[in-house]
């Protein structure tokens, strides 16, 4: 009988130790699951944000299509959007008489044709049968612009 009681006592002692250990393991597992859950939620929020930014960064195809300005072709249009700036580049093919240096406006519009942004720009002289370049850099984010056009800023005076 004394052998059985020692064996029973040992069994009971090991169960107590295991019980305390199981509680600690259980608490640690719960904490790890909570931390993992929070990590997954944060990861999903960041990945959704990235997807939304990538979708938003599509530039309108209308904006990139060739255009006309005072009877000349505007080609090779590119709009590069960076974190703090927008870069518009394009070529003006001058197959007519020389274009003198002039002040123009570059007008960006929304899809409903309402004005989105307007910039003054000094167009350099473009000799006949040559190609001139326009390079506009602005801190305005032009990603939401649907299209753009040029306006001549020449005041016409009637004598």
Report pLDDT digits (tens) over 60-103. 899 999 999 888 899 999 999 887 899 999 999 988 888 889 99
In the numeric block, which tokens belong to residue 42? 């944060």
Rounded Cα distance between 108 and 156, Å, is 24
Write down the pLDDT at residue 113.
92
**Nearest Cα to 89, choosing from 80, 78, 73, 81?**
78
In the numeric block, which tokens belong to residue 111? 């899809």
How far is Cα of residue 5 from the mean position of the Cα atoms in its chain? Answer: 75
Query: Is CATH 3.60.10.10 the classification given to domain 61-152?
Result: no
Write down the pLDDT at residue 147.
94
Helix, strand, or coil (residue 86): strand
Residue predicted with more confidence, 18 or 90: 90
| High-pLDDT (> 70) share of the chain, % | 77
Ranges assigned E (strand) in the chain: 67-69, 72-81, 86-94, 102-109, 115-123, 130-138, 147-152
Per the DSSP assignment, residues forming a β-bridge with 75 are 91
Give the pTM: 0.60
Average pLDDT over residues 110-122: 93
How far is Cα of residue 140 from the mean position of the Cα atoms in its chain? Answer: 13
Q: Is the pLDDT of residue 45 over 80?
A: no
46-55, 81-90, 146-155, range with the lowest pLDDT: 46-55
Place of tokens 């090779």: 76
**Nearest Cα to 86, choosing from 153, 132, 131, 148?**
148
Order of strands across the sheet with 115-123?
A: 115-123, 102-109, 147-152
Helix, strand, or coil (residue 88): strand
Average pLDDT value for the chain: 81
Helix, strand, or coil (residue 106): strand
Place of tokens 């169960």: 15
């Amino acid at each position: 009988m004394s052998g059985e009681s020692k064996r029973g006592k040992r069994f009971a002692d090991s169960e107590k130790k295991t019980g305390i250990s199981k509680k600690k393991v259980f608490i640690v597992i719960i904490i790890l699951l909570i931390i993992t859950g929070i990590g997954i939620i944060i990861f999903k929020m960041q990945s959704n944000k990235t997807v939304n930014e990538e979708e938003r960064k599509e530039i309108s195809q209308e904006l990139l299509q060739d255009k006309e300005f005072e009877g000349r072709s505007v080609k090779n249009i590119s709009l590069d959007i960076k974190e703090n700036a927008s870069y518009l580049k394009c070529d003006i093919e001058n197959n007519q008489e020389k274009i003198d240096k002039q002040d123009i406006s570059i007008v960006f519009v929304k899809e409903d044709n309402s004005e989105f942004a307007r910039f003054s720009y000094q167009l350099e002289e473009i000799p006949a049968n040559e190609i001139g370049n326009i390079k506009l850099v602005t801190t305005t984010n032009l990603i939401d612009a649907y299209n753009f056009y040029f306006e001549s800023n020449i005041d016409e005076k009637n004598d």
